[in-house]
Structure 1
């Protein structure tokens, strides 16, 4: 079976009405899910890459960026014209703005080992308007690292300074404690049980989100594709070294 065949087939058939449906789902429910975006063969290649990556890291949590993903299959997806078009169209239709050039900030996040607690239940906003999450490997038993999201809690800020203020409030230790108490089922908190190979889309910049932990001996590997930094041209951001 050709690599990424399911993904390319689905992407190539998306109408503007389909994109509007995705945007509506994200606006209404906080997250849109496309089942079976990747095939078992796709996941097999990616899982082999994950296994080798974790082994090199000493069986501990590790994250890789775009330039470290050659041969994983995720590099092929990130370079796919059809995949890029999805983000540009979703941005234009869902946010009502001209779409900037599609350049992904891409991460493969492999959560495992004794450091899982440090990388879990850390609530945050993304720096990018749209986030795609594709689970590559999710534990079948025990703690599975469910995705937690409080959707669409803010708009796109007109000024980077306002964005910094939002993040300062969210990063506060008291705020984090309150949100962690809500993680077990507080109002507005959505629990999403990730399924490997599904494609999840949400407004990462606008939504507070995190993951629950996994057991030390388990592996939770997720591919993240971030697109469209609203403050990419901010002078203040560059001066702070965050450009």
Structure 2
């Protein structure tokens, strides 16, 4: 986990990689010992849930694990802030991260796969904890940097509605299997940290075998429309708990 700050040159390098390749990687974000502890804990958590899909939102849900410390790490939050500000040219007022641990396995895990979406946050980071070594691994799939940052929440909502419908989802699923070269496919490794523009990139994960386990810690930074009164009313109408990620942001990543 991060124990030191990053130089301006390192931050600029990460931004360039995300802009040009669609994503950047920080290898060995979790130490082998931390990763082993997390994997054991995740395995136990999933077993307690009947070996089905599990999503734990917020720091409290992972208290006592390295993920709790990571979600509140000043160095990690500062890195996300500097990357976001360096890319947007605007200073973010966000002082924390929105996080979820997402565990795909069983039939529920398959239902939560191949749902293409845009995030509401500028920066999305993912640290895989458990990944299948063969077969259906649940690789990250994206069409990177497909839209700009919208100044209007309504325009952002239109973007999402154009994607979140049966016809477009069916087309994208068919296309990813018939022409996978059109997509950026990321074979993620446990313990590494992957960063991309979640707001701008249309993304999803490929299916995971029902008897396998894919567990990822997802951290979001800077909700573009977090101060929008319309967004707030819609979240309230949908029954979203304040401070927790909406369904559109985390459960499909």
TM-score normalized by the length of structure 2: 0.89
Deviation, 1:127, is 1.1
**2:66 corresponding residue in structure 1:** 73
Residues 1:229 and 2:231 aligned together: no
The partner residue of 1:119 within 112, 115, 118 is 112
Task: Give the 4+ runs in structure 1 shifted more than 6 A.
Answer: none
Gaps of 5+ in 1: none
Cα deviation 1:194-230 (Å, max 9, x = unaligned): 1001110000011000001111111000000011111
User: Which digits, 9 at most, give the CA deviation of each residue in 1:86-136, with x for residues without a partner?
Assistant: 011111112111122332110000000122221110000111110000000
Matched ranges for 1:1-243 at <5 A: 4=1, 7-8=2-3, 11-12=4-5, 14-66=6-58, 67-184=60-177, 185-186=179-180, 188-242=182-236
* Alpha-carbon separation, structure 1, partners of 2:109 and 2:103: 10
Partner of 1:228, secondary structure, is: strand
Q: Is the CA contact 2:96–2:221 (under 8 Å) kept in the aligned structure 1? A: yes
Q: Distance in 2 between matches of 1:206 and 1:112?
A: 28
Q: Answer whether contact 1:127 1:204 (CA < 8 A) is retained.
A: yes
Contact persistence 1:182–1:189 (CA under 8 A): no
1:200, 1:147 → 2: CA distance? 10
Structure 2 unaligned spans of 5+:
237-241, 243-253
Shift of 1:22: 0.5
Deviations 1:35-64, CA, capped at 9 Å, x for gaps = 112111110111122112102211101100
Shift in Å, 1:241: 2.7
Structure 2 CA distance, aligned partners of 1:161 and 1:190? 28
Alpha-carbon distance in 2 for matches of 1:238, 1:39? 38
Over aligned residues, Cα RMSD in angstroms? Answer: 1.3
Secondary structure, in 3 states, of the residue corresponding to 1:94? Answer: helix
Query: Structure 1: how far apart are the matches of 2:235 and 2:118?
Result: 19
